[in-house]
Chain A
């Protein structure tokens, strides 16, 4: 009976490193291929949709800026969940998952800030303004960089993992601030224009398709790269453990 219930929790399937390696061996290239196809289709639409009547050709930046901003937050959510599982349940791969996604999340956040700044200059007349949305995304980047710096600063892997996981969980508080900053405070940044927004604020269908394709492309690319980086960490731990055994022998 115990054996039958062993795989009840879906996390258990991936918590076993051997099963994870077997799964990720085909899943990582599959997500990568899906990302490539979606990005190609999304980019074709990006450069064939008509320019916006107000924003002109700068509207094309929306299809690379918004997915980067969404991924910046989504990856931090993944970092928070993985850190929680590593801290509380001590899942074998949860810490590796947290460590693997942090550099990717930082990269997406840099992209969101840089492409937003390049879009802001022609539309708002400024590269940067200390308003709630922009500042909270900068704080998000600082949490990513703090996580990476903390892991790099402590030699003991277990202590580093624990300290970084606590920092990651503290940073989760920032996620609703980023998401709702445009609703809670007056902001130069526009509010939500997704399918869930008020009808008058929703993105026109002609722009919704490239946005959807590019969003899914970014998500698939992250899925693929996350798996590749977790695999690298599993091999690194194996190499270090074998080196330790060899030194003891």
Chain B
């Protein structure tokens, strides 16, 4: 498939080219989601513990 000057037609090599790009997208998605979710989870936990220390009734 050719869109303007873009060339997405990899012909017989498509079975190698597209899995490589798809795998790269999946691994980047994992790196981003795992990093952000770990940061959010531990920030929330630290803030909850901090609130408990300041007010033990919580």
Write the residues of chain A forming the contact surface with B, with a CB cutoff of 8 angstroms.
Answer: 44, 47-48, 51, 56-58, 60-61, 64-65, 68, 103-104, 107, 110-111, 114-115, 118-119, 121-122, 221, 225, 228-229, 231-233, 235-236, 238-239, 242-243, 245-246, 249
CA distance A246 to B50 in the complex (A): 10
Residue ID in chain A nearest B6 by CB atoms: A47
Name the interface size band of chain B. Answer: 35 or more
Classify the interface of chain A: helix, strand, loop or mixed. helix
- Closest partner residue, chain A, to B19 (CB atom): A118
- CB neighbors of A among B1-37 (8 A): 5-11, 13-14, 16-17, 19-21, 23-24, 27-28, 30-32, 34-36
**Given known A56-B13, A103-B34, A110-B27, contact A239–B20 (CB-CB < 8 A):** no
Instruction: Find out whether the CB atom of A57 lies under 8 angstroms from the CB atom of B20.
Output: no
Q: Do A48 and B7 touch (CB < 8 A)?
A: yes
Select from chain A the residue with minimum beta-carbon distance to B11: A57
Tell whether, in the assembled complex, residue A68 and residue B24 are in contact, meaning their CB atoms are under 8 Å apart: yes
Asked, given contacts A232-B42, A235-B45, whether A225 binds B32 with beta carbons under 8 Å apart, the answer is yes
Shortest CB distance B43–A (Å): 5
Contact of B8 among A47, A232, A243 (CB under 8 A): A47
Contacts of B32 in A (CB 8 A): 225
Pick the contact of A114 from B6, B7, B23, B45 — CB < 8 Å? Answer: B23
A115 to B27, CA, bound (A): 12
Q: Could you list some 27 contacts between A and B, CB below 8 A?
A: A44-B6, A47-B6, A48-B7, A57-B11, A61-B16, A61-B17, A61-B20, A110-B27, A111-B23, A111-B24, A111-B27, A118-B19, A121-B16, A221-B28, A221-B31, A225-B35, A229-B35, A229-B38, A229-B39, A231-B39, A232-B35, A233-B42, A235-B42, A236-B45, A239-B42, A242-B50, A246-B49
